[in-house]
């Protein structure tokens, strides 16, 4: 049985004071949630979150990672080993904003996934189509290609990844895939994983990310192949994010 996971991606938001207030309100509000819960702050605030969440049920992730595994002259980069050392349990790889704003391609996403696994940091591999690709009927082709490159690159530990389906047209727009649209893509991803092995399909969690809110979380999470959510803006509001986490049945 796959435990549901809800991860809150704070993106480039927050400061020391607002994070203290957010976590002080959030931690007791999700104490009884059946979900595993992670927060993904800007990297500079990871140590603060580690301190504030000590002894709680919440895990911590990072928003990106270098593909470089060995120390070296890579100014501005942070390795997966450093993330592990700082207390990160998860890391996002291939988020649509990293792909569109910073030119991360499928091969780089796969390399980052492998680097994370080598350091025992669990990658949340993001896949998804643009609005133009959906309207052209290319959703499954795009998502399939993005995930295939990752699965083909990994030498082992495929079962330790989490996949997050995030339709690009539904991120930060207020638009949301219907539960049926989301389930269709999640089921396709599950079938793609099963092509590698039945165990992989049974083990890997697939999250939905795209304007998840308290109002739609329960219906989305009730779909058979949706194992939780990757939440953006709503994760910055303790009450709203707690309601999403507590929507897990």
Q: Say how many domains are in the chain.
A: 1
What's the confidence (pLDDT) of residue 169?
85
Instruction: Calculate the average pLDDT of the chain.
Output: 96
Q: pLDDT digits over 156-167, tens only?
A: 999 999 999 999
Q: Is the per-residue pLDDT at 16 higher than 80?
A: yes
Q: Which residue among the candidates 67, 81, 97, 166 is catalytic per the annotation?
A: 166
Residue 4, in any domain of the structure: no
User: Which H or E run includes 229?
Assistant: strand 228-231
Per the annotation, the verdict on 166 as an active-site residue is yes
Closest Cα partner for 121 from 149, 160, 150, 154?
Answer: 160
Residue 1, in any domain of the structure: no
Q: pLDDT digits over 212-248, tens only?
A: 999 999 999 999 999 999 999 999 999 999 999 999 9
Three-state DSSP at 90 gives strand
Interatomic CA distance for residues 82 and 109, integer angstroms: 18
Residue 193, in any domain of the structure: yes
Q: Is the per-residue pLDDT at 175 higher than 90?
A: no
Per the annotation, the verdict on 114 as an active-site residue is no
Residue 2, in any domain of the structure: no
Interatomic CA distance for residues 122 and 114, integer angstroms: 10
- Quote the percentage of the chain above a pLDDT of 90: 93
| Model pTM score | 0.96
Query: Length of the chain, please?
Result: 249
What's the confidence (pLDDT) of residue 174?
73
What's the confidence (pLDDT) of residue 54?
97
Q: Kindly state the tokens that stand for 56.
A: 């709680």
Residue 202, in any domain of the structure: yes
CA-only gyration radius of the chain, Å: 17
Residue 3, in any domain of the structure: no
Q: pLDDT digits over 61-114, tens only?
A: 999 999 999 999 999 999 999 999 999 999 999 999 999 999 999 999 999 999
Interatomic CA distance for residues 172 and 233, integer angstroms: 7
Residue 75, in any domain of the structure: yes
CATH number of the structural domain spanning residue 142: 3.20.20.70
Pairing of strands 36-40, 58-62: parallel
Average pLDDT of span 146-158:
96
- Write down the residue that tokens 């004071």 correspond to: 17
- Quote the percentage of the chain above a pLDDT of 70: 100
Q: Which residue among the candidates 67, 95, 114, 240 is catalytic per the annotation?
A: 95
Q: pLDDT digits over 28-47, tens only?
A: 999 999 999 999 999 999 99
- What is the separation of C-alpha 60 from the centre of its chain, rounded to a whole number of angstroms? 11
Q: Is the per-residue pLDDT at 17 higher than 80?
A: yes
What's the confidence (pLDDT) of residue 74?
98
How much helix, strand and coil, in percent to the nearest 5, is found in the chain? Answer: 50, 15, 35
Three-state DSSP at 157 gives coil
Give the domain extent around 61.
10-245
Residue 31, in any domain of the structure: yes
What's the confidence (pLDDT) of residue 220?
95
């Amino acid at each position: 049985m796959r435990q549901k996971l809800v991860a809150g991606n704070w993106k480039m938001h927050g400061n020391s004071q607002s994070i203290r207030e957010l976590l002080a309100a959030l931690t007791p509000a999700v104490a009884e949630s059946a979900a595993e819960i992670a927060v993904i702050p800007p990297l500079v605030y990871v140590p603060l979150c580690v301190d504030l969440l000590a002894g709680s049920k919440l895990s911590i992730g990072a928003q990106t990672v270098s593909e470089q595994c060995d120390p070296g002259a890579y100014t501005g980069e942070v390795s997966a080993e450093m993330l592990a050392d700082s207390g990160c349990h998860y890391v996002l790889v291939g988020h649509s904003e990293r792909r569109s704003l910073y030119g991360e391609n499928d091969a780089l996403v796969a390399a980052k996934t492998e680097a994370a696994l080598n350091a025992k940091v669990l990658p949340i591999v993001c896949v998804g189509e643009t609005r133009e690709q959906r309207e052209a009927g290319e959703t499954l082709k795009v998502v399939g290609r993005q995930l295939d490159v990752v699965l083909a690159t990994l030498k082992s530990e495929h079962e330790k990844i989490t996949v997050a389906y995030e339709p690009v047209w539904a991120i930060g727009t207020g638009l949301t895939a219907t539960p049926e649209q989301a389930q269709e893509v999640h089921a396709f991803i599950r079938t793609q994983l099963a092509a590698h092995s039945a165990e992989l399909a049974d083990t890997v969690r697939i999250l939905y990310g795209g304007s998840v809110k308290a109002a739609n979380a329960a219906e989305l999470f009730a779909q058979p192949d949706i194992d939780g959510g990757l939440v953006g803006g709503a994760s910055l509001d303790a009450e709203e994010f707690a309601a999403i986490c507590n929507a897990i049945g």
